[in-house]
Structure 1
Amino acid sequence: MNPKSASTVRFAAVGDIHVTKESAGRLRGFFAQASEAADALLLCGDLTDYGTAEEARVLADELAVVKVPIVAVLGNHDFESGTPEVVRETLTRAGVRVLDGEAVEIHGVGIAGAKGFAGGYGRGSLGGWGEPAIKHFVQEALNEALKLESALAKLRTPRRIALLHYSPIAGTVQGEPVEIFPFLGSSRLEEPLLRYPVDAVFHGHAHRGTPEGRTINGVPVYNVAKPLLQRTRPGQPPFRLFELPREAAEAPPALAEG
């Protein structure tokens, strides 16, 4: 692993950590390694296994070794206990910037984040027609896409990253059973990325997917689910490093007014 550079901003990205109460003391070395390798840590959801307050506290304690900024989105597992706000508040108190349709600027790079949602890809996308339950499901997918779009629209930095849990493209869920593709992400999340181009997209969720793909307009999309990185990159730390030029990154202000 190359040392940090004065000319680039380096991000370490990982998702699907699935912290349990038994994780206490087991992740500090991993997080310290990511902190040493990068200028910021990006967490792509499913940070806890059942979304409990106890798991969130364990994660916050493990993250205490990180000495660089941390930006995160939540995942579906973080909602399992019905109290995602507890997970978010616990991590926020620990200094993590948890995004849910918001944007932040880290070292001159704009980061827009949202959880995303399911619904399928391309012609296989579920339409909002028929029973009320179907319409509610599709509306949730639309709401998450609107959150991402709102966050992207706020950015004024020359370099930008999108942070998700669900995948915006089918390319990075390839390898999963085709029957569950509709539950792994949605093309509706890709639409804002076409209107507001970014330098890279990071997501998790698809443990058996593909590490890298591209949007229709050629933006790299990285699946950084920790189990996938462990399987496809044996012998390497299970986080993805991504670099952007520091000179271009630290130019204008990060967010639009208002």
Structure 2
Amino acid sequence: MGDLHVREDNASSYRDLFAEIAKEADVLVLTGDLTDLGKPREAEILAQDVKACAIPIVGVLGNHDYECGAPDEVARILRDAGMRVLDGQSCEIGGVGFVGVKGFAGGFGRRMLGSFGEPAIKQFVSEAMNETLKLENAMRQVRASRSVVILHYAPIVETIESEPLEIYPFLGSSRLAETIDRFKVSAIVHGHAHRGRFEGRTPGGQPVYNVARHIEKPTGKPYAILEI
């Protein structure tokens, strides 16, 4: 599940939902935008629900978690609560390897933004390339025969369909899928696009799931259940 957007002024808790998930699953994967504005206080609120979860939690940060300029503090708070927050790293839980990066924007296919022109454009593309490099390095560390790639940004267009066309380039990048398709993975999950489709495939045929909380899923719940 992704895009929890926990806020300081929101009294709602994910504790009951996490408890429900723990009865159905072995691992809870969170695909970023865990907080609404990236405030440490928002992370502290979520951390209480993380501590109460009966199964391991692993995931990545999203763009909202960077908004206040304190992503390291947000990640530290959640790690201290027991969540494995990945940023270019991998870990193994129950014989399944989990690889996580936030990813970045840039567009898809032949319309991907190229590193040409103004320094600002080159810096933008460099950020996307750095994320894919982190992803590739982490994937090379996986030794398990089954693996899940955790992203915030989308690696393909299919799972962001129904979003306005004008914002497609800001919802993800084909560079992520190109990197993933150099390896064999069991599943790729992402959030970020609150509209879209639950399922798609990379050009190499590997399954991708948009698990943003707002996306309609086969469970009929805010979360998806994947068997790896």
Q: What TM bracket, shorter-length normalisation?
A: over 0.9
Structure with max Cα Rg: 1
1:55 equivalenced with 2:39 (yes/no): no
Q: In structure 2, the residue corresponding to 1:172 is in which secondary structure?
A: helix
Q: 2:122 aligns with which of 128, 135, 142?
A: 135
Residue in structure 1 matched with residue 142 of structure 2 by the alignment: 155
Residues 148 and 188, structure 2, Cα contact 8 Å, conserved in 1: yes
Matched, 1:188 2:165: no
Secondary structure in structure 2 of the residue aligned to 1:195: coil
Letter in 1 for 2:137: S
Unpaired runs of 5+ residues, structure 2, are none
Does structure 1 residue 36 correspond to structure 2 residue 20? no
SS of the residue corresponding to residue 45 of structure 2 reads helix
Match of residue 198, structure 2, among 161, 186, 211 = 211
Task: Tell me, yes or no, if the aligned pair for 2:191 and 2:210 is still in contact at 8 Å.
Answer: yes
Counterparts of 1:162 and 1:220, CA distance in 2: 10
1:250 aligns with none
* 113-122 or 211-220, which deviates more: 211-220
Match of residue 21 from structure 1: 8
Aligned to 1:73: 60
Identity, % of aligned pairs?
A: 53
Structure 2 counterpart of 1:240: 224
TM-aligned CA distance change 1:64 to 1:22, over 3 Å? farther
Deviation digits for residues 35-74 of structure 1 (CA, Å, limit 9, x no counterpart): 1211010000000000001100000012222111110100
- Inter-partner Cα distance in structure 1 for 2:10 and 2:101: 25
Give the match for residue 176 of structure 1. Answer: 163
Shift of 1:24: 4.1
Equivalent position of 2:99 in the other structure = 112
* CA contact 1:119–1:185 (8 Å) conserved in 2: yes
**AA in 2 matched with 1:238:** P
Secondary structure, counterpart of 1:227 in structure 2? coil
CA shift for structure 1 position 236: 2.7
Match of 1:197 among 173, 184, 202: 184
After superposition, the C-alpha distances for 1:164-186 in whole angstroms (9 at most, x for unaligned) are 00001111111101111000000
Paired letter, 2:46: L
Rounded to whole Å, the distance in 1 between the matches of 2:133 and 2:161 is 25
What is the one-letter code of the residue matched to 1:54?
Answer: R
Please state how far the C-alpha of 1:237 moved relative to its aligned partner.
2.3
Which residue identity lines up with residue 130 of structure 1 in the other structure?
G
Residue identity in the other structure for 1:63: V
User: Relative contact order, CA 8 A, sep 6+: which one is greater?
Assistant: 1
Instruction: Supply the RMSD in Å over aligned alpha carbons.
Output: 1.2
Q: Which moved more, 1:19-28 or 1:177-186?
A: 19-28
TM-score of the two chains, using structure 2 as the length reference = 0.97
